[in-house]
Structure 1
Amino acid sequence: MRIRTHIAVSVDGYIASPDGLPAILTAPDFESGVSHGLPEFIAGCGAVVMGRSTFAPAVGSPHWPWPNLRVFVLTSQPLPEGTPPGVVSAADPSELLRLMREADFTGDVHLVGGQQTIQAFRDIGALDELGVVVMPILLGDGLRLTPDKGATAPLQLTGTRTFPDGSVEHRYTLVPERP
């Protein structure tokens, strides 16, 4: 089991605009769940993990975004009413990681969501692959991929591909720190 991201980011490093519009939605040919390499990425995943802010809007929506995947939520608050059975939550990322390792699924874990959840798994050394799809747009402001003054983390490029709209996917592993 590896924990991997597949997240869109503007060329200037924002995952969402100031009003919360995800960078991926700037693509004129974007199709939810279909474009920008997501089907190939999800094919290797058996679970998703996210924070409560990403999870909550899906509860009660007409289309459950994670069919056939185990769902894990990093939150210190109770899950919203209407949460489907089988969703697992924990307030501590180390505890949630333990629960994911004990769960019955095959494949990797797609880390869905924003900078806080990505950072939480980085902090415990559990982020195995940082996959970013760089969108051909400058947002100028918004929510950055990493928090302000985050720790430096060297990366090793493991793959890249280009999409018809000019977006470029880069996949990285985090280089372990030397003692």
Structure 2
Amino acid sequence: MRIRTHIAVSVDGFIASREGLPTILTAPDFESGVSHGHPEFIAGCGAVVMGRNTFAPAVGSSHWPWPNLRVFVLTGGPLPEGTPADVVSASDPAELHRLMREADFAGDVHLVGGQQTIQAFRDIDALDELGVVVMPVLLGDGLRLTMDKSGTTPLQLTGSRTFPDGSVEHRYTVVRDRD
């Protein structure tokens, strides 16, 4: 099991605008779950992990975004009413990581969400692959991919590809042993 991201970022490093609009939505041809390499990425995943802010809007919506995937939520509070019974949550990233390792699913874990959840898994050295789709836009302000003073994480480029709209996907593995 590897924990992997597949997140859109502007050329100037923002994952969302100042108003909270995800950067991927700047693409005129964006189709949720269909475009920008998502089908190929998610095909290798058996689970998703996210923070409460990413999870909560899906509860009670007409479309469950993670069919056939195990769902894990990093949160210190209770899950919203209507949360499916098989959703697993924990307030501690290390505990949630342990629960993911013990769960019954095949494949990797898609880390969905923003900088806080990404940072939480970086802090416990559990992020394995950082996949970013660099969108051809400068947002100028907004939510950065990384938190201020988040520290250095060495990465090794493992693949890149371009999409018709000019966006570029880069996949990096986290370099854990530099010796």
TM-score of the two chains, using structure 2 as the length reference: 0.98
Structure 1 unaligned regions, length at least 5: none
Q: 2-side partners of 1:47 and 1:38: how far apart?
A: 14
2:24 corresponds to = 24
Specify the SS of the correspondent of 1:55: helix
Q: Does 2:134 match 1:137?
A: no
Report the CA distance between 1:40 and its aligned residue.
0.5
2:110 corresponds to = 110
Q: 1-side partners of 2:44 and 2:149: how far apart?
A: 33
Structure 1 residues 21-64: Cα deviation after superposition (integer angstroms, max 9, x where no partner)? 00000000000000000001000000000000000000000000
2:82 corresponds to = 82
Structure 1 runs (4+) deviating above 4 angstroms are none
Q: 2-side partners of 1:152 and 1:73: how far apart?
A: 25
1:169 corresponds to = 169
Q: 2-side partners of 1:54 and 1:104: how far apart?
A: 23
1:152 corresponds to = 152
Structure 1 residues 63-96: Cα deviation after superposition (integer angstroms, max 9, x where no partner)? 0000000000000000000101200000000000
Structure 1 residues 115-142: Cα deviation after superposition (integer angstroms, max 9, x where no partner)? 0000000110100000000000000000
Identity of aligned residues (%): 85
Counterpart mapping for 1:42-121 below 5 A: 42-121=42-121
TM-score of the two chains, using structure 1 as the length reference: 0.98
Report the CA distance between 1:151 and its aligned residue.
0.1
Report the CA distance between 1:174 and its aligned residue.
1.3
Task: Give the CA RMSD over aligned residues.
Answer: 0.9
Number of equivalent positions: 179
Q: 2-side partners of 1:7 and 1:123: how far apart?
A: 19
